[in-house]
């Protein structure tokens, strides 16, 4: 956790997530199609800005009627132990996959408690609820499959487990960056280098956009054969 200085941490938090993802690719330390959440998980609080924090993981099941594993206190304790660094809670759905559209892993009460003990966001491949209250809470990021009206039979357990959130494998302590586009894992071994590379990549894109929007851009296509 202390590998980054507070200044480096804030530099990362000031950059959008797609640019962070682009910067990570330059280091070639993982496959290109990995390390980010898929489109089944979406940002439910798009006005909350950029999210950055260290993962506190667990499993959750709200669709199995005869299950009763409520280890919420262990989850809250793990969040609190990360302070002063912000936590991002990651709940991997552990119920029947055919019932995942009915899963709901948190609402106003849990999210408020999470924020109170040091979390800045929640990421799950299941559902969430109480979106008005979460927006009113402020400063808390919500990522999930969608909104669900009822909480079913909520269970939380296996705090510290490795979970997979729609293709994104998350280990406890992973550094997660998110915005309205999605969430990406920043590998620890390059975390202190990503911000500089992101700025470099962004500058390159801005120069390319100037060319694309410039008055002479169309000239490179003149004389090309058009296929119908």
Q: What is the pLDDT of residues 134-166, one digit of tens each?
A: 999 999 999 999 999 999 999 999 999 999 999
Judge whether 217 lies within some domain. no
Q: Note if the bond before 84 is cis, omega within 30 degrees.
A: yes
Q: CATH number of the domain that 162 lies in?
A: 3.50.30.40
Q: What is the mean pLDDT of residues 56-62?
A: 98
Q: Is the dihedral of CA 141, 150, 60, 101 positive or negative?
A: negative
Residue 169 has pLDDT above 60, yes or no: yes
Of 93, 102, 98, which is closest to residue 125 (Cα–Cα)? Answer: 93
Contact by Cβ (8 Å): 184, 178: yes
pLDDT tens, 186-196?
999 999 999 99
Judge whether 222 lies within some domain. no
- Residue 118: Cβ within 10 Å count: 20
Judge whether 26 lies within some domain. no
- Mean pLDDT across the chain: 94
Judge whether 221 lies within some domain. no
Domain count, the chain: 1
**With bands split at pLDDT 50, 70 and 90, how would you rate the model's confidence at 184?**
very high
| pTM (2 d.p.) | 0.93
DSSP state of 150: -
Q: What is the mean pLDDT of residues 37-45?
A: 97
Judge whether 210 lies within some domain. no
Q: Which residue range forms the structural domain that includes residue 137?
A: 34-190
pLDDT tens, 97-138?
999 999 999 999 999 999 999 999 999 999 999 999 999 999
What is the DSSP code string of 61-118? ESS-TT---B-HHHHHHHHHHTTTS-EEEEEEE-S-GGGGGG-B---HHHHHHHHHTT
Contact by Cβ (8 Å): 178, 17: yes
Judge whether 119 lies within some domain. yes
- Cα separation, 54 vs 13, in Å, equals 12
- Cα separation, 21 vs 23, in Å, equals 5
DSSP state of 188: G
E-strand stretches of the chain: 42-43, 51-61, 87-93, 119-124, 127-128, 141-144, 146-147, 155-157, 163-165, 168-170, 175-179, 182-186
Judge whether 196 lies within some domain. no
Contact by Cβ (8 Å): 146, 42: yes
Residue 228 has pLDDT above 80, yes or no: no
Q: What is the mean pLDDT of residues 53-57?
A: 98
- β-partners of residue 164 are 169
Judge whether 98 lies within some domain. yes
């Amino acid at each position: 956790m202390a590998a980054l200085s507070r200044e480096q941490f804030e530099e990362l938090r000031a950059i959008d997530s797609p640019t962070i993802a682009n910067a990570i690719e330059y280091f070639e330390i993982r496959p290109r199609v990995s390390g980010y959440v898929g489109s089944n998980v979406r940002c439910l609080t798009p006005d909350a800005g950029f999210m950055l924090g260290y993962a506190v993981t667990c499993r959750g099941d709200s669709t199995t009627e005869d299950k009763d594993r409520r280890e919420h206190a262990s989850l809250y304790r793990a969040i609190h132990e990360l302070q002063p660094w912000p936590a991002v809670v990651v709940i991997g759905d552990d119920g029947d996959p055919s019932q995942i559209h009915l899963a709901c892993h948190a609402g106003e009460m849990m999210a408020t408690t999470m924020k109170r003990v040091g979390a800045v966001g929640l990421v799950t491949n299941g559902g969430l609820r109480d979106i008005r209250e979460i927006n009113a809470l402020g400063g808390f990021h919500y990522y999930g499959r969608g909104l669900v009206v009822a909480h079913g039979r909520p269970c939380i357990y296996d705090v510290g487990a490795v979970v997979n959130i729609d293709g994104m494998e998350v280990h406890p302590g992973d550094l997660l960056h998110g915005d309205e586009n999605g969430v990406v894992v920043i590998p620890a071994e390059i975390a202190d280098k990503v911000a500089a590379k992101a700025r470099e990549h962004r500058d390159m894109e801005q120069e390319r956009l100037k060319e694309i929007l410039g008055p002479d851009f169309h000239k490179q296509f003149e004389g090309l054969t058009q296929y119908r």
